[in-house]
Chain A
Amino acid sequence: MMFLNNPQIDMRMSQFNRRLNFKNFSSLAVVLSFFLGQTLQAQDHKHEHKHSAGTTQSMPARTLSSTQAFNEKSWAQLLKDGPKPAAYLFTTTYCSTCPAAFEVLHQAVKDKGRQVPLMAVMMDASGAKALRHASHFKGMSKMYAFEGFEPEIRQSVDPSWPNVTPYVVMIDAKGHLQKVIGPPTPDMLKRWLGS
């Protein structure tokens, strides 16, 4: 507290406090603290995939600042512990037909007025290179990125999937899966989200 005896600093602090409107500053501090905490949780690079079922909400893609590793064990873990309902769209940096398929999922969720997690899984890039594409996936909750040997990871999701994207997996509230190459049909969306 030595510096409080410095009259110049005292004066600056006094001006600072007066400009600040103290009550608003306190509120701002609490809100900012909470906000920062939430944002940083979204940046986490955890390998485990623990989610409380149905509580994860879609959020604008612009808030994502990192990708989560998706290896050959991730899919089994997501099926066990991941959110339900949910959808995963597997894509690549050069898949120009993928954003339209994601939009079909996003629109279906919007039409239902539901908060359903929509995930993109980038197969050929991670981090900033993958996130360049985040703006193409409106309503994306999270972006995963393959880490490891691509065919091995792909076969862990579906042994018969022949590396065609978009590859979409929709998981309904009871954990039933529907898989499709390309955009899902209206019937599939209906089965996924319920009537």
Chain B
Amino acid sequence: MRLIKQTWCAWMVLSLLVLGMATSLPASAQSKPMKHAKRVQLATGAALSPDGRLWVVGLNDQGQMFMQSSPAQALGQWTAPVILNTQQDEIAAEGESRPKMAFGPNGWAVVTYTQPLPKPYTGFVRMLRSADGGQTFSAPFTVHQDRQEITHRFESILFDAQGNLHTLWIDKRDMPPKGAGQKYIGAAIYGNVSKDGGATFGPDYKLADHSCECCRIAMSNTPDGKVAAVWRHVFGEQTRDHAFAVLPGASSVASTSAQVQTKTPVRSTFDDWQINACPHHGPGLAANTSQTGFHMVWFGIRKQDGQDVPGVRYARLNANGEPLLSSVKALPDARAEHADVLAHKQRVVVVWRSSEGSTSTLKAWISDNEGQNFSVKVLGQTQGPNDHPRLVQRAEKMLVVWRDTKEIKVYDVSQ
């Protein structure tokens, strides 16, 4: 009898426990929990192949990497998307971090992306390569030799005039270990060079110490066949302006150690923005093909009459990457974001997104006298989520690719 009583009591307590759990659940937890709406990653890369075909690479609704192309004669008429094998990598495709594509000689084509790793702020730069002009691609592989679970992110790629593939990325291998008492400001810009379209790579080299940590790196071909880059840099303790460097050639990188390559970069902007924060807003760079030097756009906050004035600005740089201060102009749009620049001979095109509420407007600032004067043109408008504008160029052909949740639009800004 005692046994039955104890057993009965035990079951009563268990029942109460279950009942207690059930009644303490909030209404939404008792039913199916509300989930966040599916987040579509729209950041898309674009490139022109040697035959003038426009290619895009991005993620679809299922998070798979797709690629499609459009003929030069019918831009915007896309082939059916092809899914690329990325071996279930997580892929960063939002904002400043997007998949990218580049074409080289000999039918070489590469696709790159950042694969975020489980530890926050870490990632690997991954690449797929093609030797048949983008018809087929290899499985993804990691581009850098360093394999620590640290930052290798925000990669950029460009072939130089000799067909060498240059890859740059933001890297934190130089951070001292926690508790070491040393301080390393920002991150570093590392890179490597492949002479065979991504089949093999030279050693990782350090281009510069103390870059900002999470802005895209802009790259441009130089008139003499090299590659130049500009990135957000931390000068001193916390001045976040921009730095410029011409990348070392393939032979010098292959034959020297990483430390030998590292030089003090040239300062290319002077906003003097003192901030210990992440702007998430990288620069744009284009070679001035009618003279020497470059055209550059960037975002920054500068003091004007005692006020902090944020804005996207344009300037011309000389061949060393130093700004021609008299050429600095603010874009005529306080809401301008993520601007980029293209140039061919006299024509300079600055393109940006301007959002107000759910409406985004794609705008261009066009100059036909090397950036002396500009006029604004509205290219398009959309509602809801959309990507930053992506600019592509091959010689005089200059295009803007803009993706929203419904389609990928193409705007020809060559003329």
Contacts and interface: CB of A to CB of B under 8 A. Distances in A.
B214 A45 contact: no
B26 A44 contact: yes
A164 B278 contact: yes
A24 to B, nearest CB: 11
Contact of A36 (B21, B28, B277, B337): B21
Contacts of A165: 277-278, 280
B37 interface: yes
B403 interface: no
Contacts, number: 165
A148 B40 CA distance: 10
Given A95-B214, A96-B213, A132-B118, A33 B279 contact: no
Contact of A126 (B4, B39, B385): B39
B281 A152 contact: no
Contacts of B360: 151
Contact of B24 (A40, A124, A125): A40
A45 B24 contact: no
A41 B23 CA distance: 12
Interface in B217-255: none
Contact of B20 (A30, A44, A148): A30
Interface string A21-65: 010011001101110111011011111000000000000000000
Contacts of A4: 4, 7
Given A17-B7, A33-B20, A96-B214, A162 B299 contact: yes
B184 interface: no
Interface stretch (B9-17, B79-87, B325-333): B9-17
A47 B20 contact: no
Given A32-B17, A132-B118, A94 B385 contact: no
B338 to A, nearest CB: 9
Most chain B Cβ neighbours within 10 Å, of A29, A66, A133, A148: A29
Nearest to B383: A149
A83 interface: no
A121 interface: no
B280 A163 contact: yes
B7 A13 contact: yes
Given A67-B36, A97-B213, A97-B278, A152 B355 contact: yes
* Size class of the B contact interface (CB-based, 8 Å): 35 or more
Give the most central of A46, A96, A124, A183: most B CB within 10 Å.
Answer: A96
A118 interface: no
A103 interface: no
Contact of A155 (B13, B278, B357): B357
A69 interface: yes
Interface string B298-309: 010100000000
A77 interface: no
Contact of A22 (B3, B10, B17, B355): B10
Given A20-B10, A152-B358, A94 B153 contact: yes
B36 A147 contact: yes
A178 interface: no
Contacts of B214: 92, 94-96
Given A36-B21, A40-B24, A43-B29, A97 B13 contact: no
B213 A94 contact: yes
A92 B370 CA distance: 37
Contacts of A41: 24, 26, 29
Interface string B358-397: 1010000000000000000000000011100000000000
Contact of A33 (B3, B17, B95, B280): B17
Q: Which of A148, A162, A182 has the most chain B CB within a 10 Å cutoff? A: A162
B97 interface: yes
Contacts of A38: 24
A17 B280 contact: no
A66 B35 CA distance: 10
Contacts of A107: none
Contact of B28 (A46, A72, A127, A132): A46
5 contacts: A33-B16, A67-B36, A149-B358, A150-B95, A182-B275
**What are the 6 A-B residue pairs with the smallest beta carbon separation, nearest first?**
A37-B24, A33-B20, A151-B355, A45-B34, A126-B36, A182-B277
Given A37-B25, A40-B26, A151-B360, 14 more contacts: A13-B3, A14-B3, A25-B13, A33-B21, A45-B28, A45-B34, A69-B36, A93-B120, A95-B214, A101-B277, A127-B35, A151-B337, A162-B337, A163-B280
